[in-house]
Amino acid sequence: MITVKQTRTIRVTDGEPVKSIKIEEIVADTKEKAKSCKFASLGCDVEQVQKDHEQKRPIKHLAVTNDTMRGLLRQFEKLNSQFNTSITQFDYVKASGNRMAVRGGQNYLWKITNWSHHFKQAQKRTVPLIFSKPFYSAVHSYRMVASFAPFGQGKTFGHHASVFIQLVEGDFDQMLKWPFRAPIIFTVWDQKNDVAEKKNMSVRVTPNTIPVNIPFLMQPKNGPNVSFGCDKFIHVDLLSNKTSPYVKDDTLFVEISVDMMTEMLS
């Protein structure tokens, strides 16, 4: 605090005649009070400033202002990045929810473990196909089995993996539409951690109910129907590469989704 000395006269008495004396006292200067710099919140470290403080330290004040603005910019960029990531994740979840609603609300996710073993077996033609467990396309709906050829089949052998579906006898066949005509979506899942970078590989197979295809699509009665699907699904290099995003912990995920809405409207 800035202080000054000042002298004033007072009149006192000790029983004798009144007399005047002068005294000195230290009081606060009411004309010039100490104040903090208006840039203190930005980083100016001067606690008590004079009138011309701001004029004397323009570079210092510019520097602390610049540092503060740069810090705010970094915070904004970080928040903006987090916001964009949240939007991407929301869109991804929303799309997944919409996909499930459109397809009847039930997808079959096939987890294939020991992938490297299956791939080598297929490459040697020892065991060219892997089969899933039987599953239903939706509640009270078609029963089916998926098969996957890791190293391809026929003309695509060594180039593209193949994926197929075959209809098998189910508990609700009598109440279903035949021939089967619902589109099937096969998806190999990208297992990268970053949702924004995921690139799932999908193919849509729509049954064609022409006479020659009836053995594939009619109600199964004496064992499974002949399988149908996609010969040219995903390149084998994407399944054999150790850095492949589709194979993680020696595991591959294949989703089979049936568009039951199309079946209902057909």
The reported pLDDT for the residue numbered 22 is: 58
pLDDT surpassing 70 at residue 243:
yes
Q: What angle do CA 67, 69, 72 make, to 5 degrees?
A: 110
The answer to whether residues 93 and 102 touch, using CB atoms and an 8 Å cutoff, is no
The reported pLDDT for the residue numbered 103 is: 43
Identify the CATH class of 104-265: mainly beta
Residue (of 136, 222, 145, 206) closest to 172 by Cα position: 136
The answer to whether residues 82 and 164 touch, using CB atoms and an 8 Å cutoff, is no
Structure confidence by residue, pLDDT tens digits, 117-175: 999 999 999 999 999 999 999 888 999 999 999 999 999 999 999 999 999 999 999 99
**Which carries the bigger pLDDT value, residue 78 or residue 262?**
78
The reported pLDDT for the residue numbered 64 is: 76
The b-or-e profile of 103-114 (16+ CB within 10 A means b, else e) is: bbeebbebebee
The reported pLDDT for the residue numbered 260 is: 78
Structure confidence by residue, pLDDT tens digits, 169-195: 999 999 999 999 999 999 999 999 888
Domain boundaries, the chain: 35-103, 104-265
Mean pLDDT over all residues of the chain? 82
Per-residue pLDDT, averaged over 40-63, amounts to: 70
- From first CA to last CA, the distance across the chain in angstroms is 89
Per-residue pLDDT, averaged over 75-84, amounts to: 86
Most confident among 79-83, 89-93, 119-123 (mean pLDDT)? 119-123
The reported pLDDT for the residue numbered 19 is: 53
Q: Determine the 3-state secondary structure of 256 from DSSP.
A: strand
Structure confidence by residue, pLDDT tens digits, 215-226: 999 999 999 999
With bands split at pLDDT 50, 70 and 90, how would you rate the model's confidence at 264? low
